[in-house]
Structure 1
């Protein structure tokens, strides 16, 4: 596709986005901006294999890292 056609396509998309009417979910926006969203169990479970109780206690991070590497 040539540059002229590509630019025209982008202009068309930009115009549609600018002038279209979207419903705004203000409660979801407020929750996102406030940072009060709590991760659910599914999101946490996929990372559980990397989590260790010793990590949460703030033990010797350098020594723990060396043990895992060995």
Structure 2
């Protein structure tokens, strides 16, 4: 008896996703496509994080101790 209610909820969610159209930020899209020299925050934080530097430092210390640098 509960299957009908569950299917109705799934149909409602699917319909909302199908017809959802957020506002497009054309300025940000233009900057991304033009290859502007400024990088976006998500990319910058992903590639230039201090955690990566800490990992690199720990690895280089381990490699130096072990004598296996590649």
TM-score interval, normalised by the smaller of the two chains = 0.3 to 0.5
Relative to the length of structure 2, the TM-score reads: 0.44
Structure 1 length-normalised TM: 0.44
